[in-house]
Amino acid sequence: MTSSLRSCAQHSSETLGRTFLEKPHAFRNCFERDRDRIIHSTAFRRLDGKTQVFLNGQGDYYRTRLTHTIEVASISRTIARALRLNEDLCEAIALAHDLGHPPFGHAGEKMLQQLMKDHGGFDHNEQSLRVVEFLEEGYLPFSGLNLSYEVLEGLRKHHHRFVTPEGVTYCSPSLEAQLVNIADEIAYYSHDLDDGVEAGLLDPRELENLTLWAQAKEEAIEQSTYFATTGNIEKNRKLILRCLINKQVEELLAYSRKALEGANFHSVMEVRKHPKHLLGFSKSHQKANRELRYFLYEHFYRNPMLTTSNEEACRKIEVLFRYFQENPHRIGLRFLERLEKEGKHRAICDYIAGMTDRYLKSSFASL
């Protein structure tokens, strides 16, 4: 696979290494090892019990953080192969990108941000880094998973300044990191549409006004004789969504290939020193994506059915947080040890952020 990669892709043989030196594996490259460490981690297993949009337990159909993560990894691998980028690195970044999400999705994150505003704050992206660098255990004598520099770089998705282990500063992450960030958006906007329609919170007829949905529907009609004759949107929703994702990927590939050919870079460090990201969409497609994003925020994410349940969930997080402040011994020995090093608030925040929806509910009920 390495020989088929672009010269400016991240080759496993050119990794900047790990924080703690380890011997190379006999038959897995460094990014394959990272992927396996992530999959076998405690935080990864817990993603199955964490909210994507609908609170865990509201229905078996809706996405969880785990199914969303798997979808992002799948889309990332497809794009990476088409662009001749490193699939193993993309997969590892994708599988780890949401490990820091707390219970109850973005509503839970906002509550922890509020509770931690005077104590260093909370951000799920930064928490993902904490998970893989410090909180996970099992690879003694070091804390965390000791992942490759390139995977950690991919998790710093909102950073505007990066520093290599040798002290070299740069402003753009690898192409693989850029790719996963876009694949994440493609996955959650497309699949939130699916969950929203399934729940009855989005009317398929209202989606007709969206540029991306209209284009996807037109393509779906061309592909399906049944759809063309019946026009049944509900029965053909999954086909429309499949076409929508395919359109997103096609647009990304078309724009990104031109950008890569124009840049003509021959090393990953040239990519890193470039002031702008090379992978992305055309201006017209960016506009269509903004239209979809605005629609989801106005008609789905702010729907009273979701906000009411989210408010109740956030109240449980706040009650537990206050309780542990008064009773820090209840967070367990492992987190008590961190309490002395990093302070009560951070230790409690780490403990709650690692909970699944179910465990937090049961902890609340036991008070």
Residue 256 inside a domain? The answer is yes
**pLDDT band at 229; cut points 50, 70, 90:** low
pLDDT > 90? residue 149: yes
Nearest to 97 by CA among 119, 120, 123: 123
Residue 2 inside a domain? The answer is no
For the chain, the average pLDDT equals: 91
Cβ atoms 351, 49 nearer than 8 A: no
Residue 11 inside a domain? The answer is no
Q: DSSP letter string over 237-273? A: HHHHHHHHHHHHHHHHHHHHHHHHHHH---SHHHHHH
Residue 12 inside a domain? The answer is no
The two three-digit tokens of residue 86, written as one number = 């490193």
pLDDT in tens, 25-81: 999 999 999 999 999 999 999 999 998 876 545 556 678 999 999 999 999 999 999
Nearest to 72 by CA among 209, 187, 149: 187
pLDDT > 80? residue 91: yes
pLDDT > 90? residue 360: yes
| CA gap 153, 159 in Å, rounded | 9
Q: DSSP letter string over 52-63? A: SSSPTTS-SSS-
Cβ atoms 144, 134 nearer than 8 A: yes
Cβ atoms 301, 52 nearer than 8 A: no
**pLDDT band at 113; cut points 50, 70, 90:** very high
- At residue 363, the pLDDT reads 93
Residue 163 inside a domain? The answer is yes
| φ and ψ at residue 46, rounded to 5 degrees | -70, -15
**pLDDT band at 342; cut points 50, 70, 90:** confident
**pLDDT band at 163; cut points 50, 70, 90:** very high
Residue 277 inside a domain? The answer is yes
Which carries the bigger pLDDT value, residue 238 or residue 354? 354
**pLDDT band at 228; cut points 50, 70, 90:** low
- At residue 59, the pLDDT reads 55
**pLDDT band at 362; cut points 50, 70, 90:** very high
- At residue 275, the pLDDT reads 94
Nearest to 175 by CA among 152, 154, 144, 197: 154
For residues 92-113, give the mean pLDDT. 95
* Domain tally, the chain: 1
Q: What percent of the chain has pLDDT over 90?
A: 71
pLDDT in tens, 281-334: 999 999 999 999 999 999 988 888 888 878 888 999 999 999 999 998 888 877
- At residue 231, the pLDDT reads 58
User: Which structural domain range is residue 280 located in?
Assistant: 21-366
| CA gap 113, 58 in Å, rounded | 25
Cβ atoms 192, 292 nearer than 8 A: no
CATH of the domain at 54: 1.10.3210.10
Residue 15 inside a domain? The answer is no
Residues 6+ apart with CB under 8 A from 206: 299
- At residue 336, the pLDDT reads 78
What's the predicted TM-score (pTM) here? 0.94
pLDDT in tens, 115-136: 999 999 999 999 999 999 999 9
Residue 248 inside a domain? The answer is yes
- At residue 3, the pLDDT reads 60
| CA gap 115, 107 in Å, rounded | 13
| φ and ψ at residue 178, rounded to 5 degrees | -60, -40
Burial state string for 186-208 with b = 16 or more CB within 10 A and e = fewer than 16: bbbbbbbbbbbbebebbebeebe
Residues 6+ apart with CB under 8 A from 327: none
Nearest to 355 by CA among 94, 42, 58, 107: 42
| CA gap 212, 14 in Å, rounded | 39
